[in-house]
């Protein structure tokens, strides 16, 4: 089973949505977690937006990437362009991608659009990994 890490700056929105979709869509296919370059809090808008599509991420927590070991993951996905700021050991996993999605925290009205983009990319990722 492939192990996937979703990374974002603060692990508050995009990476949390990706984790939620991956857990739901990749159940029994992949193991998934998310982290940020720094930890913060899961944004209420992310929770509400995911709830709109039937996925509950209210129990997810924001974690710092430094709490994890890169060798424990097969795939690393940056959602915000922060790949350039990741330590090299995270960039050299079997699979690395940087999706560079817009930050809905700066424009709350785009949460649904970003959520839908995350869902499509997670579906494609799962298909490619399994």
Helix (H, G, I), strand (E, B) or coil at 64: strand
99 Cβ neighbours under 8 A, 6+ residues apart: 77, 78, 79, 80, 121
Task: Give pLDDT, residue 83.
Answer: 77
Catalytic residue among 4, 50, 80, 105, which?
80
Q: How far apart are CA 130 and CA 117, in angstroms?
A: 20
Q: What is the mean pLDDT of residues 28-33?
A: 94
Q: How many Cβ atoms from other residues are within 10 Å of residue 85's Cβ? A: 13
Q: Are 15 and 6 in contact (CB under 8 A)?
A: yes
8 is catalytic: yes
Task: Give pLDDT, residue 84.
Answer: 80
CATH of the domain at 74: 3.40.50.2300
pLDDT tens digits along 16-27: 999 999 999 999
- Count of domains in the chain? 1
pLDDT tens digits along 44-102: 999 999 999 999 999 999 999 999 999 999 999 999 887 788 989 999 998 999 999 99
82 is catalytic: no
Task: Give pLDDT, residue 51.
Answer: 98
Task: Give pLDDT, residue 80.
Answer: 87
Verdict on whether the full-model pTM lies above 0.85: yes
Catalytic residue among 5, 7, 8, 75, which?
8
Task: Give pLDDT, residue 130.
Answer: 80
CA distances from 58 to 46, 49, 55, 62, 79 (A): 9, 11, 9, 11, 20
Residue range of the domain that includes 103: 2-129
């Amino acid at each position: 089973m492939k192990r996937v890490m979703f990374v974002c700056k603060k692990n508050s929105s995009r990476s949390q949505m990706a984790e939620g979709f991956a857990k739901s869509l990749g159940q029994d296919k992949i193991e998934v977690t998310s982290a940020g370059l720094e930890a913060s809090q899961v944004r209420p808008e992310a929770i509400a937006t995911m709830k709109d599509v039937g996925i509950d991420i209210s129990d997810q927590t924001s974690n710092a990437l430094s709490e994890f070991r890169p060798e424990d993951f097969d795939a690393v996905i940056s959602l915000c362009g922060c790949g350039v700021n990741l330590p090299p050991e995270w960039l050299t996993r079997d699979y690395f991608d940087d999706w560079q999605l817009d930050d809905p925290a700066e424009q709350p009205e785009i949460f649904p659009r970003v959520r839908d983009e995350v869902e499509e990319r997670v579906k494609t990722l799962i298909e490619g990994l399994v």
